[in-house]
Structure 1
């Protein structure tokens, strides 16, 4: 079967993690890396053993050897670059959040369908062994139904109003950068809430530096979520069920261990991941492309539409507009 040739646009920290892990995917080749700075592209190429470096995004899109592009730029550029990729016939794995709002996501998905090209949001947590193990355990029904979820993600960020995290023009703030993980987790296990509450601390640059979120469901289930750039938090996820409790240890969004409590017994399971964890989503996309698929059967378009709708709803509650 043909190996899949990957390109990367946006060569920041997360792109480096992805590129390193991509080398663990047997059917994938890191073919090209693109930056608007050729020197940066050359350095990245050498560090991660890519075949080619490109000094512009347009150049990598014109290279017919590239099968799929991993978009790892700041959020505000996701929609525009993804659509450029699709117009050039390239499949796309785009970092989360997929885009800045539902309207942009709808445009991206519509274009992918029109062009009949694969597109997926890079919600890498969904592909990690500990997350899949928790999901499968809950599906057995042994623990009963979910009663409540608590999840957080926080770290003390170095304050720089020009950099991505605090820069409103670059889609800064805790919600879209890290709050998306607790929101994704609650949505994945509980579905769309019947009502949403949210409040935030808006900093001097106009972005949320902390966001507290509550999802309520008509069946009595709830989710208590928060994200912050102001302090280190546990970054754990607790799922309370009728017959027990499951905890994803810190940091729950990346490879970690999980604790299972039922019938007065407690078991901690480790999953032996030796990479950063990005290889699991990269392997999935590689297989999807080899099979000629146009949409992921794990991270679907509907998943992305519902997730961005929740983020839009939360932003409306905290009056955060970009």
Structure 2
């Protein structure tokens, strides 16, 4: 039986997710319903994507008995409320990153998932890309020896009139929550979830009080260091390196959704699934990889993913809390 998806949001990323899921076998995945903040938005999205059910409220989607799992693609300040609503009605959840605004909210979600005995996963799609999986295999094989240094950068330049979600405190704006989840998760991934002993961060802030550029150094046991940065000030190469005692692996731009991997033995390529429908964001066809992981977990009766465990979501969220504390960025949700 196909996994029946409910889509909670009708924005650009929801379009890309639905389009990516449609690259998977229809016998395994079906988009059963969509919900938005208004009936008009939901109906328009449903019409464009040939979805049979459109709901003008999230609660109506939560109550639908014919939904197996809900993709939460709303803005991150609403994740805790929307995902909680769905889980209280027994729905499994794939929630866009960042999972929440802070660790307190993330723990609220993970605790509720365990209480309701439902599946929950943060949609950190990077972990399911074939290039990241091969990177893990290369590290475990000892191809580059003992890892000593991890670097990753994610810098983009905002336009003259950026969206409020990038700049406003009440919307948990800033480069760290928008982009930082990727380099922090990359470091955590290549170091097998190792927790750093020390975190040192510095930032430039906007007039609104949120960060526009952050540099982060994480010091781990066994002489391992991660140097990471995010920026809304300028475009960076947006690549990542894993440097070991025997060699280097480069994850070239875009490191968070790569189709190539540069290893000591050569360059490996991983073409994306094909779609006739255009995407809004780069390499969004790769969202199909996380959807396939959700189905695999549900079929196996799992309540969380082995490749994207809830403990990792909590650890990265805790690191972002500490970084924000150090640079002086506080949100209303922290009070």
Q: TM-score range by the shorter chain?
A: over 0.9
Q: CA deviation at 1:290?
A: 2.1
Aligned to 2:119: 118
Q: CA deviation at 1:159?
A: 4.2
Q: CA deviation at 1:255?
A: 3.2
Aligned to 2:241: 238
Aligned to 1:50: 51
Moved over 3 A (4+): 159-162
Name the stretch that deviates more: 238-247 or 4-13: 4-13
What is the alpha-carbon distance in structure 2 between the residues aligned to residue 49 and residue 151 of structure 1?
A: 39
The answer (yes or no) to whether the contact 1:159–1:166 under 8 Å persists in 2 is no
Q: CA deviation at 1:162?
A: 5.2
Q: CA deviation at 1:49?
A: 2.3
Matched, 1:268 2:267: yes
Matched, 1:188 2:224: no
Secondary structure, counterpart of 2:164 in structure 1: coil
Q: CA deviation at 1:43?
A: 2.0
Q: CA deviation at 1:308?
A: 1.0
Matched, 1:18 2:9: no
What's the TM-score, normalizing by structure 2? 0.91
The answer (yes or no) to whether the contact 1:160–1:166 under 8 Å persists in 2 is no
Aligned to 1:200: 203
Matched, 1:148 2:116: no
What is the alpha-carbon distance in structure 1 between the residues aligned to residue 53 and residue 258 of structure 2?
A: 30
Q: CA deviation at 1:142?
A: 2.5
The answer (yes or no) to whether the contact 2:144–2:249 under 8 Å persists in 1 is no
Structure 1 residues 132-165: Cα deviation after superposition (integer angstroms, max 9, x where no partner): 1111111001220111011011111224465211
Q: CA deviation at 1:188?
A: 1.6
Q: CA deviation at 1:240?
A: 0.8
Aligned to 1:307: 316
What is the alpha-carbon distance in structure 2 between the residues aligned to residue 306 and residue 79 of structure 1?
A: 17
Secondary structure, counterpart of 1:200 in structure 2: strand
Secondary structure, counterpart of 1:85 in structure 2: helix
Matched, 1:216 2:219: yes
Secondary structure, counterpart of 1:313 in structure 2: helix
Q: Unpaired runs of 5+ in structure 1?
A: none
Q: Name the Cα RMSD after superposition.
A: 1.3
Q: Unpaired runs of 5+ in structure 2?
A: 275-284
Secondary structure, counterpart of 2:307 in structure 1: coil
Aligned to 1:297: 306
- Count of residues in correspondence between the two structures: 317
